[in-house]
Structure 1
Amino acid sequence: MKRALLVIDVQNEYFKGKLPVTHPKDSFQNILKAIDSANEMKIPIILVQHSNLDKDAATFKIGTDEHDIHEEVLKRDFDKIIEKNLPGSFTETDLEPYLNEKGIETVVICGYMAQMCCDTTARQAMHLGFNVEFLSDATGTLDISNYAGEISAEELHKAILVTQAMRFSKVMATIDWINSLEKL
């Protein structure tokens, strides 16, 4: 199965902006490990960058430091950057044609937010016929509170992993994913 690693929204907004990721605590280090392993195994790496098109945007505003992809990610080799404006990485982007052109059968999901952009992208990929691997400790989130209620980052993350494993993805820890690559 030819794979591609999707590194979703690993942007400064989650490190120094209004949306600090809190769970799992080592998610960023695991994202970097996944990127490094993908590079070693010659797996294409696609960085996905969320851009808020609203000129008065509170988050992911184009032209701000918070919008930028984290510098540690940009220091590593990657194949392409996809810009998106909605949670799904396939919506109104050239991701699907790019993956099809490269003969990709499996997409590997890592990045932020597990319950929003990672989850939506994984579901879209499955609906489009791709196999999906969802890296449990290389996706992350934060505590959420809004008019519908509140949930801790840990509870939210676990709920997404359980739901992904029900139908959409093969959920696995980064080290297990890396070990599975070495057996190929």
Structure 2
Amino acid sequence: MNTALLMLELQNDYFPNGRIPLEKSLEACSRAETVLLACREKKLPVIHVQHISTHPDAAYFLPCTKGADFYNTVQPAKNETVIKKHYPNSFKDTILLNHLIKNQINHLVICGMMTQSSIDATVRAAFDLGFSCTVLHDACAARQLEFNHSAISAQNVHYAFLAAMQPSYATVMSCDDFLQKSGSRIAAVA
């Protein structure tokens, strides 16, 4: 199986002082950074996906703003692929599918933000396109939602979307389990 790490929307607007900070975004990013370093050490391909809002009423990830930039601890290296997108699904109107096919990648290890949006949409699309996916649940973050005048905590949103992905669409595991399974010498941050 040819594996690539897919880093979704680890962008400034999701962090403290951003336009839409997510609960536990710093913790999730710290774990994503650990996995990123391990994948770099193993020379696995890394793909960073950056959302740029094009909707006229968009409030975050606005073009040419600091909020749309990648968070400082997970900046792409020169040899890593960056794909810009405008929809939750990272495959929609992007070069992602062609890039994966060209590089014979058939397994995606996914971390990033938001669990209920880009993570979910991208995992489901990848599955439909024939890719195997592993989602690193503690390297992802969600935000609180509301339905029918009831608040749904960020943790419950996160868990519900992860539960819906597993086992049909993805294998869901912790960063520690992934690093141990891949034989990395780098331990995940607690």
Q: What TM-score results when the alignment is normalised by the length of structure 2?
A: 0.90
Q: CA deviation at 1:54?
A: 3.4
Q: Which residue pairs with 1:125 in the alignment?
A: 126
1: CA distance between counterparts of 2:167 and 2:76?
A: 35
Kept in 2, the 8 Å contact 1:54–1:61? The answer is no
2:187 matched residue in structure 1: none
Q: Over the residues paired in the alignment, what is the CA RMSD in angstroms?
A: 1.8
Q: How does 1:17-166 map to 2 (within 5 A)?
A: 17-23=18-24, 26-54=27-55, 57-74=58-75, 76=77, 79-145=80-146, 149-166=150-167
SS at match of 2:97: helix
Quote the Cα distance in structure 1 between the aligned partners of 2:11 and 2:25: 16
Q: Which runs of 5+ in 1 are unaligned?
A: none
Give the Cα–Cα distance (whole angstroms) in 2 for the partners of residues 46 and 74 of structure 1.
Answer: 11
Classify 1:173/1:61 alpha carbon distance in 2 versus 1 (closer, same or farther; 3 Å): same
Structure 2: which 5+ residue stretches go unaligned?
Answer: 185-190
Pairwise CA distance, 1:38: 0.7
SS in 2 for 1:103: coil
Letter in 2 for 1:49: Q
1:106 and 1:148 mapped to 2: Cα distance? 39
Q: Does structure 1 residue 3 correspond to structure 2 residue 3?
A: yes
CA offset at residue 17 of structure 1?
A: 1.6
| Identity level (%) | 32
Q: Is the 8 A contact 1:61 1:67 kept in 2?
A: yes
Q: Post-superposition shift, 1:26? A: 1.9
Deviation at 1:150, TM superposition (A): 2.4
3-state secondary structure, aligned to 1:176? helix
Deviations 1:14-39 (A, max 9, x none): 01222111147621111101101110
- Specify the SS of the correspondent of 1:139: strand
Query: For the structure 1 residues 129 and 99, does the alpha-carbon distance in structure 2 shift closer, same or farther, using more than 3 Å as the test?
Result: same
The structure-2 alpha-carbon separation of the partners of 1:24 and 1:106, relative to structure 1 and needing over 3 Å to count, comes to same
Q: Render the CA deviation track for 1:40-75: whole Å, top value 9, x for unaligned.
A: 111110000001113553111001111111121116
- Asked if the contact 1:10–1:111 (Cα under 8 Å) also holds between the matched residues in 2, the reply is yes
Stretch of structure 1 that moved more, 169-178 or 15-24: 15-24
In the alignment, the residues of structure 1 paired with residue 98 and residue 137 of structure 2 have an alpha-carbon distance, to the nearest angstrom, of 26
Q: Deviation per CA, 1:117-150, whole angstroms, max 9, x where unpaired?
A: 0111011101000000000100111212366642
